[in-house]
Structure 1
Amino acid sequence: MHMLLFVYGTLRKHEKNHHLLAQSVCINEQARTKGCLFDSNEGPAAAFDDEGYICGELYEADEWCIHKLDQFYQGSEKHTVLVETDDGIKKALVYDMDKTKYDGFSKISSGDWKEHQMISKSQNPVYYFAYGSCMDNARFQKAGVEHYFQDPVGRAVLKGYTTRFTLKREDGSRADMMEDGGTTEGVLYRIPFSALTYLYKREGVASLAYRPAFVDVEAGGERYTDCLTFLVLQKEPETAPPQHYQVEIERGAEMYLSSEFAEKLKRHMNSLPKG
């Protein structure tokens, strides 16, 4: 018998306890549920309530896997939560700590353990996967930040996702990615940690337009893990980007991406309803 398991901390991909899920299939890399995260100094502690969101991953686990986790997390509580994914809301098991033990732990405001570690470590470089207008340098130059983006790795392929246009912002922003089993392309940059202030502002993280997320991509024959990207939080039906925004995307795509994918992306944008 298999069941869905939502993980949000050290069980996630590339984290120290992920080996406990070695035989389990990841159903959704991008998943979230209602609640708050806290830094316990040994990993995140979670409170599942309506205050915010916790980001994580969804796995299909068998009884043996759950038995191992029961032993590993002795003293933790186990219950079910509703998990939001790009292909619907699902019910899944979670492990969490006794709520009386939260005192003294600092809150992780983003609700994302991977993002919290990136910010806390302040490491250089940060690998950033761009798939929309950030593939082009026009706005970098206008903002005087082009020096942050002078070290591109180049074309990168992301499996499991498709580029979509699910946002409407006054600046013309539309681009998003849906985790739907497709394949998309973008530009992988090596950027300094100091560039994050600009990217977070540009992507509207504080206003909850986009959220930081982490993906594994292939570029130049190598695999890069936990690369920063940004995904739309409240997805709407797709609409065509305005002309100036589409020009930026096409210019960046022609410079970095495969000609086949650049043409496919252009056709998709032209097929969308105006709005």
Structure 2
Amino acid sequence: MTMKALFVYGTLLRHEEHHEAYMKESRLLAKSAWVNGKVYDTNHGYPACVPAETGTVYGELYEVTDDTLNKIDVLEGGYDKQEINVMTDQGQMTAVTYTVPKQKASTLKEIESGCWKAYKMWQQKPSSFYYFAYGSCMDDARFKLAEVDHHFKQIIGGGVLNGFTTRFTLVRPDGSRADMVEDGGETEGVLYKVPFDAIHYLYKREGVYEGTYRPAFVDVNIGDQIYEDCLTFLVLQKSEEIAPPAHYRSEIEKGADLYLSEVFRKKIRSHMDSLMKP
């Protein structure tokens, strides 16, 4: 049985409309994957990707069988199947994906975030959503300072995210800020249930429009329960890790001490101690 890598960015994503029927037997290679190009809303409930030198389309990378790919060929009738370079936190690889030529997308609305799930959230404006914080947002000090703490009162608890490790890859003059890197590890953070209005503050705080962090969606475990498609934010331009500044480290430790496991608290303190100061 031959296996191929497949990059998906729309209805084949985990928890999206066609994932269960077509992808449930396929092995996830990367939850955080991206390609060069632009993505558009077809107005039919699914997106279309146009390969391009500029722009980024975010999705997931899977290992699929020829049989699965043949079934997806039928689903994606009208799209072009092509090999494309896919980037992940572990490096670049070649995968198959489904695209349309530029002229076919000329009348369609571009999804500027490059992320179908984020676009859908902004379109649908759910009354509330889950937000997974793993850095300074585990503490409420800056929520209070910005007078938005009323949005973050409903704390579900400390949660576990599989496949990712907390790292400090966003370098600033005074030190680093937190990130999560998909390296097969495990990390912890605080899960909030927040009203939709909180998204405006979160996008601003995380510098989404300036290209600092990007929205991403992850499944978080708390006890025996899995919370699906929780919004979080990942660093776009990752640098070599350096130590965070004292004020930022303090916010992480305050939140961790309240909600996260003792094992993780020791691990994150030890990791921050090991990093070179700027």
TM-score in same-fold range (> 0.5): yes
1:161 aligned residue? 164
Contact map agreement 2:6 2:97 (CA 8 A) in 1? yes
1:202 aligned residue? 205
Give ranges in structure 1 of 5+ residues lacking alignment: none
1:252 aligned residue? 255
Report the CA distance between 1:75 and its aligned residue.
2.6
* 2:17 is equivalent to residue 16 of structure 1: yes
2:151 aligned residue? 148
Contact map agreement 1:155 1:220 (CA 8 A) in 2? no
Distance 1:193-1:169 versus aligned 2 partners, 3 A rule: farther
Structure 2 distance, partners of 1:266, 1:202, is 24
Structure 2 distance, partners of 1:272, 1:222, is 34
2:8 aligned residue? 7
Report the CA distance between 1:72 and its aligned residue.
1.9
Report the CA distance between 1:242 and its aligned residue.
0.5
1:91 aligned residue? 94
Q: What pairs up with 1:31-180 in 2 under 5 angstroms?
A: 31-42=33-44, 43-169=46-172, 174-180=177-183
* 2:46 is equivalent to residue 26 of structure 1: no
* 2:236 is equivalent to residue 214 of structure 1: no
TM-score by length of 1: 0.97
Give ranges in structure 2 of 5+ residues lacking alignment: none
Report the CA distance between 1:102 and its aligned residue.
1.7
1:243 aligned residue? 246
SS of residue paired to 1:260: helix
AA matched with 2:232 = T
Report the CA distance between 1:62 and its aligned residue.
1.2
Report the CA distance between 1:170 and its aligned residue.
5.4
Deviates more, 1:115-124 or 1:62-71: 62-71
Structure 2 distance, partners of 1:220, 1:188, is 13
CA RMSD of aligned residues (A): 1.2
Structure in which a larger fraction of residues adopt strand: 2
CA shift digits 1:54-77 (9 cap, x unpaired): 000001111111111122222321
SS of residue paired to 1:155: strand
Report the CA distance between 1:172 and its aligned residue.
5.3
Aligned residue pairs: how many?
275
Structure 2 distance, partners of 1:73, 1:255, is 47
Calculate percent identity across the aligned residue pairs.
50
Report the CA distance between 1:118 and its aligned residue.
0.7
Structure 2 distance, partners of 1:110, 1:170, is 27
Structure 1 distance, partners of 2:24, 2:267, is 36
Contact map agreement 2:33 2:87 (CA 8 A) in 1? yes
Find 1:228's aligned residue among 231, 235, 249: 231
2:191 aligned residue? 188
Structure 2 distance, partners of 1:223, 1:203, is 25
Structure 1 distance, partners of 2:258, 2:59, is 33
CA shift digits 1:146-197 (9 cap, x unpaired): 1110001011110111000001235755100011111110000001110111
Distance 1:274-1:249 versus aligned 2 partners, 3 A rule: same
